Chain A
Amino acid sequence: MFEGYTAEELQSIFIMQGFSGLSLFSVLLLMGLGLALIFGQMGVINMAHGEFMALGAYTVFLCSNLTHKYAPAFGPYYFICAIIFAFFICALVGALVEWLMIRHLYHRPLDTLLATWGLSLILQQGYRSIFGAREVTPTLPDWLMGSYTLKEGLDIPINGVFVLGLSIIVTAALMLFMYRSKFGLRLRATVQNRKMSGAVGIHTQQVDRLAFAIGCGIAGIAGAAFTTIGSTGPDSGSRYIVDAFLVVVGGGTASLLGCIASAFGIAQAQSVLEFFLDGTKGKVATLLVIVIALMIRPQGLFPSKVRGN
């Protein structure tokens, strides 16, 4: 598949596809982090995670519309606020969903999977009713447009760099939160031993709800990031959900590092292969490799070793 390209062209192609892969990596990483947090915390598979991402994207779209209608002067800056909005709105909806639905289904992980899929149907149709079936794009501030030209034939898009930076910040913040804050300690304690945590006075239900909310909030940020690289439709989220699941499973579910590594691998493979094979074939090849790898090594890249079980 490489014939017909010179070595220099190939190098540029790899670097450029690598960069566009980095944007995909950022979105997948943000999606995967949220999913992994929720799955690690309570063994819940959130099939509606993609719809939370879409919710984040629609929030940015709404912010953009409102800003440009009522405060056009604020145009260049609104995007930062919109990301924060996206986080909190998704987190709020997430907390509501946890309270109404998820908390009744603990210990039935397969059922949460199905119930959240029902939720995703409803949310998708909701988006369709509210925003229409057509894809929408927020007006992005000028500073996000354009690209740096490193050398001829090699352009690095600014939005890609921004999204990458955003996902690094979120990952770092999540790590700090998990390993340095008091709540993070409670959360990790609950994952290790739920009963014991309850016994020493941790309000485990509250911990669950907050974890679910934060996971959904991060999906919202993923959605905000997504608006810079693509347009949003009612089913935008569901197109990423399988990849995001594979990121989580491939990374070994409990491991943040594994999540990063597998998001990187999946995104890069997909983006480079998509250039050489046509669209779906690249994706099929990537997915096939992951699934076969998971059949051989189901514990993922970085399994957690625990005695017994």
Chain B
Amino acid sequence: MSHNNENILEIEDLGVSFDGFKAVDGFNFYLARNHIHVIIGPNGAGKTTVLDLICGKTNATSGSIKFHGKEMRGKREYRIVRAGIGRKFQNPSIYENLTVFENLELSHPTGRGVLGCLLFRRTAEILNQCNSVAEQIGLSDRLDTEAGILSHGQKQWLEIGMLLMQNPEVIMLDEPVAGMSVRERTATAELIRRIAKNRSVIVIEHDMEFVREIADRVTVMHLGKILSEGSMDKVSQDPKVIDVYIGH
């Protein structure tokens, strides 16, 4: 498939091997604009590794990752982030010693260079954006709380909020509802649908019910390769998928 305007991210023949072990192999993936694309698969299928490859944390050994038609493979993490790809980690990765507000503010894209940091001033615009993001993630009344004492679910939301501050075109979420209560889960699903209105989202998730709730498209991975792809209904009836999930 050649570059087309519908797809914001086009990944072709992506592969990486660790000492001969192919963790991801021949991976093709096309992310459509304003879509929520979920990657599922049993443990060790290579899902998190795919995110690591896209965001530059791990260097791919083959293939290409094109964002807006531009090659991202081999670029440094911060350049990929500045291009517009944000990533949330599996375990909430926030600045525990800073307040919720400071966490959000630090994620704002103005002044990310050394000089920019030195000259950075808290403008009304930045303040407004922090407030509106805090509202979206339901932490408006916790702005002055130290992030370390938030509940697990709130930490996950805060990290999503930090991504929203960066205003990326692609957001990658690694198991955003792991360890959440049912109520928090519903709220997160709503949040993800809301943020996907004007950006694309890649989600890794185990929880099938949650996937059904949010996914526009689903990719099933197994042993580093793509097993099946399509709508949730389609893949859940694919005999290969059923085999992998039941057989393991």
Q: Do chains A and B touch in the complex (CB under 8 A)?
A: yes
Nearest Cβ on chain A to B168's Cβ, whole angstroms: 23
Nearest Cβ on chain B to A305's Cβ, whole angstroms: 5
Mark A269-309 against chain B: 1 for CB-CB distance below 8 A, else 0: 00000000000000000000000000000000000011110
Nearest Cβ on chain A to B44's Cβ, whole angstroms: 10
A307 and B50 alpha carbons, distance in the complex (Å): 13
Which B residue's beta carbon lies closest to that of A304?
A: B19
Contact call A308/B19, Cβ cutoff below 8 A? no
A308 and B16 alpha carbons, distance in the complex (Å): 12
Give residues 215-253 of A contacting B (CB, 8 Å). Answer: none
- Total number of B residues with any Cβ neighbor in A under 8 Å: 6
Give residues 117-142 of A contacting B (CB, 8 Å). Answer: none
Mark B204-237 against chain A: 1 for CB-CB distance below 8 A, else 0: 0000000000000000000000000000000000
Which B residue's beta carbon lies closest to that of A307?
A: B18
Interface of A is mostly: loop
A305 and B16 alpha carbons, distance in the complex (Å): 13
Which A residue's beta carbon lies closest to that of B20?
A: A305
Contact call B52/A305, Cβ cutoff below 8 A? no
Which A residue's beta carbon lies closest to that of B21?
A: A307
Q: Say which size band chain A's interface belongs to.
A: under 10
Which A residue's beta carbon lies closest to that of B49?
A: A307
Nearest Cβ on chain A to B61's Cβ, whole angstroms: 12
A308 and B57 alpha carbons, distance in the complex (Å): 8
Question: CB-CB < 8 A to A306: which residues of B?
Answer: 18
A307 and B46 alpha carbons, distance in the complex (Å): 11
Question: CB-CB < 8 A to B18: which residues of A?
Answer: 305-307
Mark A10-29 against chain B: 1 for CB-CB distance below 8 A, else 0: 00000000000000000000
Question: CB-CB < 8 A to B58: which residues of A?
Answer: 308
A152 and B97 alpha carbons, distance in the complex (Å): 71
Nearest Cβ on chain A to B163's Cβ, whole angstroms: 21
B191 an interface residue at 8 Å Cβ cutoff? Answer: no
B98 an interface residue at 8 Å Cβ cutoff? Answer: no
B45 an interface residue at 8 Å Cβ cutoff? Answer: no
Nearest Cβ on chain B to A6's Cβ, whole angstroms: 49
Nearest Cβ on chain A to B137's Cβ, whole angstroms: 28
Give residues 3-60 of B contacting A (CB, 8 Å). Answer: 18-19, 23, 49, 52, 58
A68 and B78 alpha carbons, distance in the complex (Å): 68
Question: CB-CB < 8 A to A308: which residues of B?
Answer: 52, 58
A58 and B52 alpha carbons, distance in the complex (Å): 53
Nearest Cβ on chain A to B122's Cβ, whole angstroms: 33
A238 and B52 alpha carbons, distance in the complex (Å): 43
Q: List 8 A-B contacts (CB under 8 A).
A: A305-B18, A305-B19, A306-B18, A307-B18, A307-B23, A307-B49, A308-B52, A308-B58
Query: B residues engaging A (CB < 8 A)?
Result: 18-19, 23, 49, 52, 58
Which 8 residue pairs spanning A and B have beta carbons closest together? A307-B18, A305-B19, A305-B18, A307-B23, A308-B52, A307-B49, A308-B58, A306-B18
Other 6 A-B pairs with CB < 8 A, given A306-B18, A307-B23 = A305-B18, A305-B19, A307-B18, A307-B49, A308-B52, A308-B58
